[in-house]
Chains A and B, each alone.
Chain A
Amino acid sequence: MKRFEPRKIGLALIAPAVAILVAFLITSLVLLVMGDPVMDVWRTMFQPPLPRHYVAMLNSATVFYLSAVAVAIGFRMNLFNIGVDGQYRIASFAAAVFAGQAWLPGFLNIIVAIIVAMATGGLWAGIAGYLKVKRGVSEVISTIMLNAIATGLVSWLLAKARDPESIGSNEVHTRTIPESSQLEGLALVPGASQKVYTLLLLAILVGFAYWFVLGKTRFGFDLRATGQSETAAVASGVNVKRMTMTAMVLSGAVAGLVGMPLLFGVYHNYGTTFQPGLGFAGIAIALLGRNHPVGIAFAALLWSYLEVQSNALQIQAHVSKEIVFIIQGVILFAVVIAYEVVRRAEVRMEQVKVARELAEKEQTVPAGQGASA
């Protein structure tokens, strides 16, 4: 097999492009049917972003990226970790409580808190892994249930671990992290007073580790092999149960990182206003980015572009910003369908190619030998 095939790469890029086009058309149609101003909506969505908007996009893309990588680790092994949502919330809570205690000085506090978050996320995902391996419970159902349980557990623990100073105020949160452990951010975008999360670096690191571990190590090969064909993996000596457990815990550990840029960069504590729903966005982005470390990055940027640009819709176009959910949803559907169509087209191309090569070979082989085949 050749390493570089322009036709294949072209096909891979066609799918998302078609999906975005379809989303554009369908959303226009929806707006038209509902009697909303189509042109105003697109003018708002496509207007050039201000510097502070670029910062906002980079920031939310960072969080989306981490969430999508967590989901993608599962996807590569045919595991559906729908529970990233619960995992990151419970892990952020644990890290916030730990960092809020300020047992360690400055930077060390951040490092250990991040490890605490990874351990908590991994543990929470490990419950689903255990249930799948030992009890045969589908991870799809168990992770969804664990999301709801995490919600209850976190709000119960939050009431116990709330900052004594926040009693009496409406917003309940954990003890605020000492200033020496807060990250004020990087001034990456010129002309913007807001700063980009320092932990953007963490997202890049995670993306690199994801590419390396899954693409370049034996462990990653085994993991992908198990995802593609369990029987083949067993034949090559992979312990599927252990692999399932490892992949689940790993996915949960990365999910634990999702809240870290938010915790150290914005909120500095875990409270009732901590951003929810990032896990589900991660699923969409992982699907859109096709589990590829670079693909996910583009998908995360697209997602955050749509999110940031839609904020002006209500004011400028008098259309509720919820229309962006429809755009995202249609992109998602169009892209999964397009990928499947492209995959089938690829398989067919491959079959035609192999058939042609075999036919050529048969012509060169003497007739007596060829007849037996």
Chain B
Amino acid sequence: MSATLAPAASDEVRTAPKRRRRLPIWFWPVAVVAGIFILAVLRVVTGANDLASSGLIGAAIALAVPIALAGLGGLWSERAGVVNIGLEGMMILGTWGAAFFGYHMGAWMGIVGGMLCGIVGGLIHALATVTFGVDHIVSGVALNITAMGIAKYLAARFFTGLPGGGVTQSPPLPALPRLSVPGLAGPLGDLEQKRIFFVSDLAGVVRGLTTNISAFTIIAVLLFIGTFYFLWRTPWGLRLRSCGESPVAAESLGVNVIKYKFLAVTTSGALAGLGGAFLALVAANIYRDGQTGGRGYIGLAAMIFGNWRPGGLAAGSLLFGYTDAARLRGGGQTVHALLLAIAVLLLIVAALQLRRGRRTQGYIAAITALVVGLVYFFTDTIPGELLGATPHITTLLVLAFAAQRLRMPAADGQIYRKGEGH
């Protein structure tokens, strides 16, 4: 997004390019263990027993995958310099495609169908933005409106009259196989039941990660690894990213910028379509109008949160998936328990900011922490109506605190015309 790059951030990059050290290899495992430890403490303090259960972790992953796939689509497109707000529309097309092909030809073909319909959305966006130079956000918004209409029409046209189908929904769809690591579920389940501090929580997380995982989730993980390898370890990936950083420079080195952008946006559509297919085939086993519920946008937000990198995107998706799962499974009480964690985290942020001498930010964080803490202590639960907005509020808060430290591809969102650098 053009706006996330604050002037201050770009100055920082220019004057001190090596200020941010690369995180050491042990950072992520340690962070995960620390996260589980925090959840364990939170569970004991608040009594919300569902915080690190295998069920919640499993649900969190299932909710994170469509967001992650949409975000991965966004990553491809924006790394090539095309802002893709149309992910939502491509996902909608994907849900319909998955349902249509899945119902008639089986679940695996459903995945292919979702991808193909997503590609159609990607091609439209590519045609408008890359070929005709329409503003990226205008085209994306137009695509979202159009895709919603197309899916509604096609659903009414093809699902009405089928057993269990109707104007707004498809018949039940065939299921994809689910996999487990053999021999882990039983012992870990026993351990989880005992509610030993930290040990049970760790067991719950590991069990959630290793049992009853959909084959589609594994495909998604492979796509992440594949994307990282392709974009950061191959010459094609380097050329694609160069189109997002400086298309004119890329052109002068003989890269066919238009071709790369077109391919990137099409791939982006395929990935977002897969995200939609996951929603229809795995999460719901059915197509429903309005099924995506803004997940394409959240995927885009997760990508921004992840600083246009696959690892950060995965972490962002898991965060959103986790808050969503917490609200769906535990309801008000689990989210209520998370409030305490937010208050403590904000206090830490406030302390850090004050130590660095940033008074205003420090005080704002401290006051917010106080408010959140007070809400925690004076209420018992969060009303159901507000819970639906949990992932969105999380997105907004995360971006409000993180947006200025992010760096997007330098030419992201700019319209490129062949030969404009001469």
Q: Which residues of A contact B (CB under 8 A)?
A: 34, 36, 80, 82, 131-132, 135-142, 144-149, 151-153, 155-156, 159, 280, 283-284, 287, 320, 322-326, 328-330, 332-333, 336-337, 340-341, 344
Contact = CB atoms under 8 A, between A and B. Distances in A.
Contacts of A344: 133
A331 to B, nearest CB: 9
Contacts of B142: 284, 287, 329, 332-333, 336
15 contacts: A80-B137, A136-B4, A137-B403, A138-B1, A138-B3, A138-B304, A142-B396, A283-B141, A287-B142, A322-B156, A326-B146, A328-B149, A330-B146, A332-B145, A340-B133
B392 interface: yes
B297 A159 contact: no
Contact of B387 (A152, A332, A336): A152
Contact of B4 (A138, A146, A149, A326): A138
Nearest to A320: B156
B373 to A, nearest CB: 21
Contacts of A156: 383, 385-386
Interface string B382-407: 01011111001101100111011000
B160 to A, nearest CB: 8
Contact of A151 (B138, B141, B388): B388
A323 B388 contact: no
A135 B395 contact: no
B238 interface: no
Contact of A137 (B294, B389, B392, B399): B399
A274 to B, nearest CB: 15
A178 B143 CA distance: 43
Contacts of B400: 131, 135, 137
Contacts of B377: none
B153 A325 contact: yes
A62 to B, nearest CB: 20
B384 to A, nearest CB: 8
B389 A153 contact: yes
A326 B146 CA distance: 6
B132 interface: yes
Contact of A325 (B150, B385, B396): B150
Interface string B110-145: 000000000000001000100011110111011111
A132 B385 CA distance: 27
Output the residue of A138, A155, A341 with the most chain B CB within 10 A: A138
B206 interface: no
A333 B124 contact: yes
Given A156-B386, A325-B149, A344-B133, A136 B3 contact: yes
B3 A145 contact: no
B157 interface: yes
A24 to B, nearest CB: 16
Contacts of B157: 34, 36, 320
Contacts of B4: 136-138
Instruction: Specify which of A131, A137, A284, A344 lies most central, judged by the most chain B CB atoms within 10 Å of its CB.
Output: A137
Contacts of B43: none
Contacts of B155: 322
A145 B392 contact: yes
Contact of B403 (A34, A135, A326, A337): A135
Q: Which of B85, B147, B389, B401 has the most CB of A within 10 A?
A: B389
A341 B395 CA distance: 37
A140 B1 contact: yes
A373 B395 CA distance: 56
The 6 A-B pairs with the shortest beta carbon distances in the complex, nearest first, are A325-B149, A329-B146, A138-B1, A152-B389, A136-B6, A156-B385
Given A283-B145, A320-B153, A337 B134 contact: yes
Contacts of A145: 297, 301, 392-393, 395-396
B246 to A, nearest CB: 19
B386 A333 contact: no
B167 interface: yes
A142 B85 CA distance: 13
B145 A280 contact: yes
A149 B389 contact: yes
Contacts of A140: 1, 3, 85, 137
Interface string B278-318: 00000000000000001001001100100000000000000
B261 interface: no
A329 B149 contact: yes
A179 to B, nearest CB: 30
Contacts of B139: 333, 336
Of B5, B155, B301, most buried by chain A (CB within 10 Å of CB) is B301
A336 B134 contact: yes
B145 A137 contact: no
A43 B128 CA distance: 31
A136 B128 CA distance: 27
A332 B4 CA distance: 28
A135 B2 CA distance: 13
B148 A325 contact: yes
B396 A131 contact: yes
A141 B385 contact: no
B386 A332 contact: no
A336 B131 CA distance: 13
Contacts of B388: 148, 151-152
A320 B167 contact: yes
A139 B297 CA distance: 12
A136 B5 contact: yes
B301 A287 contact: no
A146 B396 contact: yes
B292 to A, nearest CB: 12
B396 A340 contact: no
B202 to A, nearest CB: 33
Nearest to B158: A34
Contacts of B1: 138, 140-141
A9 B116 CA distance: 41
Nearest to B394: A145
Nearest to A139: B3
Interface in B364-422: 383, 385-389, 392-393, 395-396, 399-401, 403-404
Contacts of B3: 132, 136-140
